[in-house]
Structures are given as structure tokens and as C-alpha cells.
Amino acid sequence: MAAKSDGAAASAGPGPEGVAGGARGSAGGCGEAAAAAGLPGSVGAGGPGPRYELRDCCWVLCALLVFFSDGATDLWLAASYYLQGQHTCFSLTLLFVLLPSLVVQLLSFRWFVYDYSDPAGSPGPAVSTKDSVAGGAAISTKDSAGAFRTKEGSPEPGPQPAHSSANAYRRRCCRLCIWLLQTLVHLLQLGQVWRYLRALYLGLQSRWRGERLRRHFYWRMLFESADVSMLRLLETFLRSAPQLVLQLSLLVHRGGAPDLLPALSTSASLVSLAWTLASYQKVLRDSRDDKRPLSYKGAVAQVLWHLFTIAARSLAFALFASVYKLYFGIFIVAHWCVMTFWVIQGETDFCMSKWEEIIYNMVVGIIYIFCWFNVKEGRSRRRMTLYHCIVLLENAALTGFWYSNRNFSTDFYSLIMVCVVASSFALGIFFMCVYYCLLHPNGPMLGPQAPGCIFRKASEPCGPPADAITSPPRSLPRTTGAERDGASAGERAGTPTPPVFQVRPGLPPTPVARTSRTEGPVIRIDLPRKKYPAWDAHFIDRRLRKTILALEYSSPATPRLQYRSVGTTQELLEYETTV
């Protein structure tokens, strides 16, 4: 039997029946993880898998350049305001730099503490790794890298000899140095830089190592990339977005030719917003094996799309705020409330708890103030069209109110600003159409589209496994073995038996191609898989992530992931209520 857990217990076995239990956890998503060999419909392919390429490294380096340019120009501008005696502008600029950075660093350090600490008073859940060839060996998920070391090319993991006192002392010293280093990094507000560099290191390690450890480093690189993309998304819309509106408002209020330093700060904030959105979508698609990866051409198209639409939106905000400061604040709050309610009404499934989901919806409401952000599974064409129509009307109204206070006959500068808002929004819509019509991962929008569900290096049908068991309705009694034998004998003797299920003759059954079972372990997670555009549970639930990494590192073959299907859920419920 499999023990219930919060995503921390996992086991590997030859099939659904060969499941070893684990200890109950105290945090994370509510579910149980089990690994079994030879089950179709897995999340991750057990083959060679994707490789870390040179352009992936260049993308991370460009992200670091965008991060440093945004922060450096904001701090430089704040220092310039202080030297010029503009204390109000200095305070606001520095506030929008430090406050979001502190929030993000606290969240990043909290993740580090959880990843590098063991649950207090818990020896760690037991993990059994078995496949169709080798026997099982129980290990603990606590410090799995030290408990088991697998050499490249060795078929099975082997236990290390007991640590001597010198090794234990050296290990404690290394652990203390890691904690001191991470504390210093986060105090210096460089948590995201560390995660970028760590993702780059893990990606290069996955490229240089052999096949056995390559997949392990690639998984860790994906986890680190997901963390830094979520942190950057939160920081940019708490820091760069208000900074962009503030500096544009100051430039419009002063009039004349803009100064170089405010223009650089505004441009860096705008590029940071566009880059972070495109990078988030790319990492999200790369992390999911049921979605086609986003190409770099598509990512660049997304950068240009968000760059011009956010520029038009921010400039319209700045123009209106330069004249109607109080009404601008009321408009922003009202727009955020409406968008947050719209997101909540859509019933998103991003986080593992209700309160985290509410906070996430509030952050998405902030994002919707500036640009489109898909948060619901399914065709988003209508929702995206409605959103951009609303944004177009709001931009026109805000710019029109500002233009109505200008001198129409002599102020040629005002007409230029109106044309800039309109042309920038039109360019953003143009690049959005280019992305969806030519560069979307599923194929051109107007042409034949490829299915969105794909498993790399394998041709498997999308959806639940073909051999998923569906439980009978609760109104039907369970059939005993004697009754089944009697029914079979009656059928052989020619006795007619009434059909239990009747199929409508007008709907012919659709043939389902059954995939051949593959050797090797499969990590079964007793949680329904979150639908795109949400992250998978093993990216959000850090306890589940640690368990998967422990199983993956100690397994002689690269395991695959399989989430619970609807049929399996019904079977478990029927079993629990009838036995």
C-alpha cells in the first residue's frame, strides 16, 4: 500500500501494485508520489531528452545584462536626484528600487532555507527504488546526494562507507560556508544573480557530463530557471513598472528635450519588463513536456510585442498623470480591482494553497494593468481580444483627456505624443500577430496547427494513458470471481446477457493507439496535473521537488514523471470507500 503524504514520499516499483510507502510530510501540496516501471503517459521522456545549447547560455547572459542595466540606471538616477536637491523624486525612485528588491530577496532566501534544510524532528521519508532488473534499496531523501553516489556508467547506486569524524567536520564546515555565502548574497540584493549563475552552471554541467548525470543536472537547471523567472516576474512589475510610469510622468511634466539619464532609466525599465515576460513564457514552456518549446524567434517576437504595447500603455499613463494626479490613482486602483476580480472569476490553478492562489491573482491583476498575461488553460483568443480592446479604449481616453488640456493651434509637441502612443500600440499588435500567425509553437494561427501536447523524443498520445482503469459506478455492485466465471460459462453456452453499457450507434468508437511499455522507473505523483499555463506541481511544491531529485539521483536509469489521471482517482476513491 502507498502511504499518504504531502508530496514528500515516493517509491519506485515494477507496477502500480509494487508501491512502497513513505512518511507523512507537513508542507507542500497534498498528495502522494510513487514510482513504477513501464507505465505509459509519462510526463518526462526517459530517453536522451533535450540538451543545453550555446544559445541557452547566451539567453541567460542577456538576462543578466538586462537585470544589471535596469538596477544600475535606477540607482544612478536616484543619486542624480539627490545631488540636484530633488528629494521627492529621489525618495520615490529609491523606494521603487529597494522595497520590491527586499520582498523578492526575502522570498528567494525563504526558498533557499527550505531547499538546504531538513525537516525538524523528521528522519525523512523512506524511498524505495526498484526497476524490472535490479533490486530495491531503501534510502532517505534527506541529503540524498551524500547517502548515495552513482558513478557515470554504473548500473546501480552503491552506499558509501561511514563518514569519519574528519569528513563529518569538513561537511559541517562546507554547509556553514554555504549558509554564510547565501546570507551575504541576499543581503547584497543579489539573490537573482546567484540563481542566474547557478542555472548557467547547471546547464553547462548537463552539457559536459555523461548521459547518466546529464539529465540530473538538466532537471536541476530547469528548477533553478523556473525559480528565477518567477522572482524576476514579481520584481519587474513591482519595481520596473511603477518606475517606468514615474520617470515618464516627470519627463512629460518638465517638457522639452528629455535628459539622458531619465531616458536611459526609462528605456532599461521598459526592456526589463518585456524581456522578463518573454523569458517567463519560454521557461514555462520548456519545463512542460506536454507543450512544444518556445523558439528563440518566438521569444524575440514576444519581447517586441510587449515592448511596444507596454510603452504605449505607460506613456498614456504618464500623460494623464501629469495633469490629473488624483484621478490617475483612482483609475489605477479601479482597474486593478476589476482585473483581479476577472482573474479570480476564471478560477486559476497556479499555487498549492488557497491563500497563495489569492496572492498570485492579486499580482496578476498588477500585470494586467500594463499588458496581457495568460493565466487560464484553453483558447485565449477571445479573452486576449477583449483585453486589448479595453486597453485600446483606455489608452485613447487617457490620451484624449490629456490632449484636451493642451493648446491645439500652437502645441505641435502634444500631437506628436498622441501619435507616438497610437503608433507604439499598433506596432505591439503587429508583433503579436506575427508571433501568433508565424512563430507560435503550435504552428500558424491561420494554418493547420500541431497538437499542443507533445512528449520529446517519443510519439505518445496526449491525455491519460490508454490502459487507465475507470471504476464502475457506485450503484453497481462489485462482481465476485464466481459470478465472473459463471458469466463467462453462460456466454460460452450461448446464454444471452443484457449489456451493461450501450454505445450510441451514431458515434463510432475512436481507435486509441496503445503505446509500448518502456523499461525503467516512472515516478507516479498522486496529484492531478495542473493545466497550462500553470507550472507543474513539482516546480511549485518544493518538498515534491526534493523527493523527485532524490529518486532521480539514486535511480540507475533516468525516471519519468506521471501524474494521476482521472480514472486512477476514481479507482482509488472506490477502493477506499468500499473496503
Q: Is the pLDDT of residue 524 over 80?
A: yes
Helix-helix angle 165-187:87-115, to 10 degrees? 160
- Contacts (Cβ under 8 Å, ≥6 apart) of 233: 276, 277, 280, 367
- What pLDDT sits at residue 123? 38
Q: Is the pLDDT of residue 489 over 70?
A: no
- What pLDDT sits at residue 454? 44
Question: Of the ranges 27-41, 433-447, 558-572, which one carries the lowest mean pLDDT score?
Answer: 27-41
- What pLDDT sits at residue 375? 87
Sheet with 32-37, strands from edge to edge, namely 137-140, 126-129, 10-13, 32-37, 521-528, 560-564
- What is the per-residue pLDDT across 10-69, written as a single tens digit (0 to 9) for each? 444 433 333 333 333 333 344 444 433 333 344 544 445 678 888 999 999 999 999 999
- What pLDDT sits at residue 573? 42
pTM of the model: 0.75
* Residue type, position 369, single letter: I
Q: Give the CA-trace dihedral at 568, 569, 572, 578, to 10 degrees.
A: -120
CA atoms within a 13 Å half-sphere pointing along the CA-CB vector of 219: 26
- What is the per-residue pLDDT across 137-187, written as a single tens digit (0 to 9) for each? 333 333 333 433 443 444 444 444 555 788 888 888 998 999 999 999 999
The helix (run of H) or strand (run of E) holding residue 524 is strand 521-528
Report yes or no: 191 and 105 within 8 Å, Cβ to Cβ: yes
Q: What distance in Å separates the CA atoms of residue 97 and residue 99, rounded to the nearest whole number?
A: 6
CA distances to 169, 248, 257, 258, 261 from 254, in Å:
63, 10, 9, 8, 14
Report yes or no: 192 and 235 within 8 Å, Cβ to Cβ: yes
Residue-averaged pLDDT of the chain: 74
Q: What distance in Å separates the CA atoms of residue 10 and residue 551, rounded to the nearest whole number?
A: 8
- What pLDDT sits at residue 74? 94
Bridge-based pairing of strands 521-528 and 158-159 is unpaired
Q: Is the pLDDT of residue 538 over 90?
A: no
Neighbours of 66 (CB within 10 A): 21
- What pLDDT sits at residue 253? 81
Report yes or no: 23 and 125 within 8 Å, Cβ to Cβ: yes
- What is the per-residue pLDDT across 424-434, written as a single tens digit (0 to 9) for each? 999 999 999 99
- What pLDDT sits at residue 448? 55
